[in-house]
């Protein structure tokens, strides 16, 4: 089995000349992690790779679906349920300060966060990242087997350690219980961060986080066989992907740089 990308369900018989190009771009037995740049499936985000050198005649399509080549057929990926942490109104919600404006010209001004769930045969794994709206990078994340307070609080503490004394970002989240527990609120106040929350059941209010999860699950998780993979091994591979995402995943929107490279260039 090979993994590749296409914006249409292609037939190898109808377009045989593009198959060698596709196979040159994607040469991985199991992990999208080995691709140093692709176009994220289903998201429309273009990521820099060696495509231009291999596709000099422009035969390859722009790609936004992850597909499985099986003989002449290509099957679109399947989706999974979104994790929902909303429980009850533990504490009052705060206003939606970002109001879907995720643009920022400086790092560490607007951060978004959320929790997503991965279900594999060995069990469930939860990821809680901070995503910086400046470059889409992740200053901090926590991975665990329970979507509890420790998961998000550890992430927040680690993220705070990356900031200078003058940096006090807005942190936007949904209305999940994790962001309304007294300990989270206490940490936010301790660090001088500003809370912002989506309206109830309004996914677009946290679109930056949703976009990040879309790229992550498309490139790393979907259409992979996790049979026989332990939870600990999965968590390590997820952590490795996130490191790669920050340091190696180059995007056209960042001038062909990874989030870390882009940030370093802006601060030079």
pLDDT in tens, 143-180: 999 999 999 999 999 999 999 999 999 999 999 999 99
**How many Cβ atoms are within 10 Å of 222's Cβ, its own excluded?**
19
* Shared-domain flag, residues 264 and 148: yes
How do residues 9-31 score in pLDDT, each as one tens digit? Answer: 333 334 445 444 444 444 333 34
Q: Phi/psi at 178 (nearest 5 deg)?
A: -60, -30
Same domain, 91 and 18: no
Write down which residue in 77, 97, 128 finishes a domain.
77
Joined together, the tokens standing for residue 159 give 């993220």
Read off the pLDDT band of 54 (50, 70, 90).
very low
pLDDT of residue 59: 42
Range of the domain at 10: 1-77
Mean pLDDT (the chain, rounded) = 78
pTM above 0.85, yes or no: no
End-of-domain residue from the set 77, 95, 121 = 77
The last residue of one of the domains, among 55, 77, 99, is 77
**From CA 106, how far away is CA 63, in angstroms rounded?**
30
CATH number, domain at 253? 3.30.420.10
* Domain match, 171 and 61 both: no
111 with 18, same domain: the answer is no
Residues 62 and 100 in one domain: no
Name the helix (H) or strand (E) containing 236.
Answer: helix 231-247
Q: Taking a C-beta distance cutoff of 8 angstroms, is the pair 35, 28 a contact?
A: yes
Number of structural domains the chain divides into: 2
Question: Does 121 share its domain with 18?
Answer: no
Looking at the fold, whether 238 and 131 belong to one and the same domain comes out as yes
71 and 40 fall within a common domain? yes
Do residues 30 and 147 both lie within one domain?
Answer: no
Residues 184 and 213 occupy one common structural domain = yes
Query: Is there a single domain that holds both residue 135 and residue 226?
Result: yes
pLDDT one-digit tens code per residue, 183-239? 999 999 999 999 999 998 899 999 999 999 999 999 999 989 999 999 999 999 999
């Amino acid at each position: 089995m090979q993994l590749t990308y296409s914006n249409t369900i292609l037939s190898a018989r109808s377009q045989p000349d593009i198959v060698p190009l596709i196979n040159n771009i994607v040469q991985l037995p199991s992990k999208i992690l080995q691709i140093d740049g692709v176009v994220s499936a289903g998201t429309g985000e273009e990521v820099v790779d060696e495509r231009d050198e291999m596709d000099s005649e422009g035969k390859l399509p722009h790609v936004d679906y992850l597909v499985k080549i099986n003989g002449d057929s290509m099957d679109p990926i399947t989706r999974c349920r979104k994790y929902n942490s909303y429980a009850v109104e533990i504490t009052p919600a705060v206003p939606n300060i970002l109001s879907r404006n995720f643009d920022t010209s400086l790092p560490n001004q607007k951060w978004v966060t959320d929790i997503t769930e991965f279900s594999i045969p060995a069990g469930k794994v939860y990821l809680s990242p901070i995503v910086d709206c400046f470059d889409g990078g992740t200053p901090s994340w926590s991975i665990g087997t329970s979507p509890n307070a420790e998961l998000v609080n550890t992430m927040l503490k680690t993220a705070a350690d990356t900031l200078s004394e003058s940096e006090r970002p807005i942190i936007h989240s949904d209305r999940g219980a994790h962001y309304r527990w007294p300990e989270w609120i206490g940490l936010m106040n301790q660090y001088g961060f500003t809370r912002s929350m989506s309206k109830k059941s309004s996914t677009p209010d946290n679109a930056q986080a949703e976009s990040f999860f879309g790229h992550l699950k498309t490139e790393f998780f979907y259409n992979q066989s996790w049979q026989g993979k332990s939870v600990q091994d999965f968590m390590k591979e997820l952590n490795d992907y996130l490191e790669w995402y920050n340091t190696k995943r180059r995007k056209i929107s960042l001038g062909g740089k990874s989030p870390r490279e882009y940030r370093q260039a802006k601060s030079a």
